[in-house]
Amino acid sequence: MRGILILFTCVGSLLFATGVKSQTLGSATISWTPSSSSNVAGYDIYYGTSSGNYQSAVPVSNVTNVMIRGLTVGVKYYFAATSYDSSGNQSGFSPEISGVVGSTLSAAATITSLLTSPGQFGFTITGVANSQYVVQASTDLVHWVALQTNVAPFNFVDSNTTQFSHRYYRTATVSN
């Protein structure tokens, strides 16, 4: 493969998981120059937290960018790409790029956990006063569902926690 990875941008969001310590997760958008080969069927993007040691891979179709979600903000990640043809033949790794996932949220929100009754989980959202925030939940860190949109500061309580073995929460500002 003759492509070179060229773009690394990050977006962060606060994340809470029931029964798990809070952490900040982010995303990286990776773009690359397409292979000069005419029979490229797609690309695989490999990444990890040490150079040349890729613990994860994301298969992508014949496009030249992908957003990788669920990365820990403040951690340096290393990325490389391979291309493959319709027969499944794969190229070697592209030159590696690296970057620290940074948070680019426009308005920071603070989440403080609340004590709630059994079967419920809640927290307080404080951020920029009178700014709108959406609370989202996921069970797999890929598919997110909006649960509530409100103006800061506000309390959020999820009374459906018994329906899930684990659930993750995040909040983000709502653009006007």
User: Which is higher by pLDDT, 11 or 152?
Assistant: 152
- CATH number belonging to the domain at 5-100, selected among 3.30.390.30, 2.60.40.10, 3.90.650.10, 3.30.1600.10: 2.60.40.10
By DSSP bridging, strand 97-100 and strand 56-60 are: unpaired
Partners of 50 in beta bridges: 53
pLDDT, one tens digit per residue, over 19-34 is 444 456 777 778 777 8
Nearest 5°: the CA angle 113, 121, 157 is 90
User: What local confidence, expressed as pLDDT, does residue 165 receive?
Assistant: 80
Cis peptide before 34 (omega within 30 of 0): no
- Domain extent listing, the chain: 5-100, 110-173
pLDDT digit string, tens, across residues 41-65: 999 999 999 999 999 999 998 888 8
Kindly indicate the confidence band of residue 96, based on its pLDDT and cuts at 50, 70 and 90.
confident
pTM for the whole structure:
0.51
